[in-house]
Chains A and B, each alone.
Chain A
Amino acid sequence: MSFNNLDQLYRSVIMDHYKNPRNKGSIEEDAVTIDMNNPTCGDRIHLTLKVTDGIVEDAKFDGEGCSISMSSASMMTQLIKGKKVEEALELAEIFSKMMMGEDYSEKYDLEDVEALQGVSQFPARIKCATLAWKAMEKGVKQ
């Protein structure tokens, strides 16, 4: 059986983040905590952010969900760490455009997040990928 179509969705970098999530866990002190779920499918994320002087100093996540939602959370925490709050919000907007299949700014190196581009071809899975980003947007605005 050919797996070409599936490879568009499940690139090896995604699987690597799913199997070996980065920044897994919870920041215990001075952290903003966001819990969010996707009510249609039961995916759940617990995100903790440490923001000091307008900079995302640390980000950790915990949760339950499919390979797309959990790898997206892992990549997102990796990418926003060390970024300014405004930059993190801008990245969330870029990511949202990427998911909608629209053109987006190439101002930033999206690192591993680029691998999620293929998700836009699978409308039913876009919500999986955006869960962590929605939680982050809510968190940094607090």
Chain B
Amino acid sequence: MMNKDIKSYFPILDQEVNGHKLVYLDSAATSQKPIQVIEAMKHYYEFDNSNVHRGVHTLGNRATDKYEGAREKVRNFINATSTQEIIFTRGTTTALNTVASSYGRANVAEGDEIVITHMEHHSNIIPWQQLAKEKNATLKYIELEADGTLNLEKVRATITPKTKIVSVSMASNVLGTINPIKEIAQIAHANGAVMVADGAQAAPHMKIDVQDLDVDFLGFSGHKMCGPTGIGVLYGKKEHLEKMEPIEFGGEMIDFVGLYDSTWKELPWKFEGGTPIIAGAVGLGAAIDFLTEIGLDNIAEHEHKLAGYAMNQLETIDGLKIFGPRDPMKRCGLVTFNLDDVHPHDVATVLDMNGIAVRAGHHCAQPLMKCLQQVATARASFYLYNTEEDIDRLVAGLRSAKEYFGDVF
């Protein structure tokens, strides 16, 4: 099923931008949505919309069934043991902040350590910075190798018995590097720390098995995996979630409310205060069905191929530098690069005039940009709907950028 026809499921891709057929190479920022997801959300609003967990009426039951049905799909998608371990959030950022605010505040004390890496997205840096400041704890960074990968020896050297939390991205949104989460989790556990995985760039592209990885927490976003914006997931081991305090209080999450004291619902609802993101969950469920039908392994293979093809083609352009590991098997489907003498914003504008959408900037990873000694970079990211022809268009666009800026100089 991994062929050109996949594009036909994505209505948005069938349009011209600035007089050229759209080539969308910014899926690492947000993916496009297949018709199946759009229809599922439309159907929900047209037939089932109601609030969940409270109505006696039929629509209320239907909405609840769909919402909780989506939770089961997520459980199955990441192979969690129970739906009690699946909390719907606004996205990866909320998931990571929940871990930092709830588990972190209760378990990190003065002098303790939190360990992250130099390749993290701001959403996996700042919650830990804030926690470290509040608790007088130390935030430590695992250094990267020259090719943008992690070396397990350096991981072992950074994590110590003082470490309480280790939080690492499963795949880097800039370098594309796929990190050895299972091995890092073992090192964290051997030192008595919990392992948090930022799955924002991994969940759309590869099979995740939380039991096999043995991570304590995992966060990911629906909108990067063909689902809608505004919905994401926090997975947590039940043994942790049971002991954790909610961070949002109000409707939906309570059991008994008195004048001066209240008790919480059981898992997972105690973490879902307020009317939940029902249509978003329905959309995410449809996205999971779509991805599962195609097969995550097929998607991963397709992206490794595209990454390899892209790197080979990009390297034929004089003065183009690629960041991150050269081995396409070590990275997810994205390539970050810079073109000599042409600033990435100018590159992105030239490409946009050719109908090609890429991202330019610091990609919410300012500390990593510092490591790479770059102010900004350009990034082309691929998903299941991209083809080698898209990459050929990118390469032609970059050549024209070079020609244009070469001419005027």
Contacts and interface: CB of A to CB of B under 8 A. Distances in A.
A64 B375 CA distance: 7
6 contacts: A42-B375, A64-B375, A66-B343, A66-B345, A67-B343, A122-B349
A9 interface: yes
Given A41-B362, A66-B345, A10 B408 contact: yes
Kindly list the 6 A-B residue pairs having the minimum CB-CB distance in the complex, ordered from nearest: A66-B345, A66-B343, A15-B408, A41-B361, A42-B376, A42-B362
How extensive is the interface on chain A, given as a class? Answer: 20 to 34
A3 B343 contact: no
A5 interface: yes
A40 B359 CA distance: 11
Contacts of B349: 6, 9, 122, 124-125
Given A42-B362, A42-B366, A6 B350 contact: yes
Contacts of B345: 41, 43, 65-66, 68, 125, 128
B400 interface: yes
Interface string B386-409: 000000000000001000110011
A44 interface: yes
| Interface majority SS (helix, strand, loop, mixed), chain B | helix
Interface of B: 18, 343-346, 349-350, 353-354, 360-362, 366, 369, 375-376, 400, 404-405, 408-409
Interface in A58-87: 64-68
A40 B346 contact: no
A105 interface: no
A42 B361 contact: yes
Given A15-B408, A67-B405, A128-B345, 4 more contacts: A1-B400, A41-B360, A65-B345, A124-B349
Nearest to A15: B408
Contacts of A42: 361-362, 366, 369, 375-376
B305 to A, nearest CB: 28
A19 B362 CA distance: 23
Given A1-B400, A41-B361, A41-B362, A12 B375 contact: no
Contacts of A3: 400, 404
B361 A40 contact: yes
Interface of A: 1, 3, 5-6, 9-10, 12, 15, 19, 40-44, 64-68, 122, 124-125, 128
B200 to A, nearest CB: 19
B361 to A, nearest CB: 4
A128 B344 CA distance: 12
A110 to B, nearest CB: 21
Contacts, number: 53
Contact of B376 (A9, A12, A41): A41
Nearest to B364: A40
Given A42-B375, A64-B375, A67-B343, A6 B361 contact: no
Contacts of A65: 343, 345, 375
Contacts of B404: 3, 6, 10
B33 to A, nearest CB: 23
Contacts of B361: 40-42
A122 B349 CA distance: 9
Contacts of A5: 18, 353
A66 B366 CA distance: 17
Nearest to B407: A3
Given A9-B349, A41-B362, A128-B345, A19 B409 contact: yes
B36 to A, nearest CB: 31
Nearest to A127: B345
Contacts of B344: 66
A44 B375 contact: yes
B353 A66 contact: no
A10 B401 CA distance: 12
A65 to B, nearest CB: 7
A15 B18 contact: no
A128 B349 CA distance: 12
Contacts of B346: 10, 66-68
A15 B344 CA distance: 15
Nearest to B360: A41
Contacts of B360: 41
A1 B360 CA distance: 23
Contacts of A43: 345, 375-376
Contacts of B343: 65-67
Interface core residue of B18, B343, B366 (most chain A CB under 10 Å): B343
Contacts of A1: 354, 400
A67 B408 CA distance: 12
A64 to B, nearest CB: 5
A15 B360 CA distance: 20
A41 B375 CA distance: 8
Contacts of A122: 349
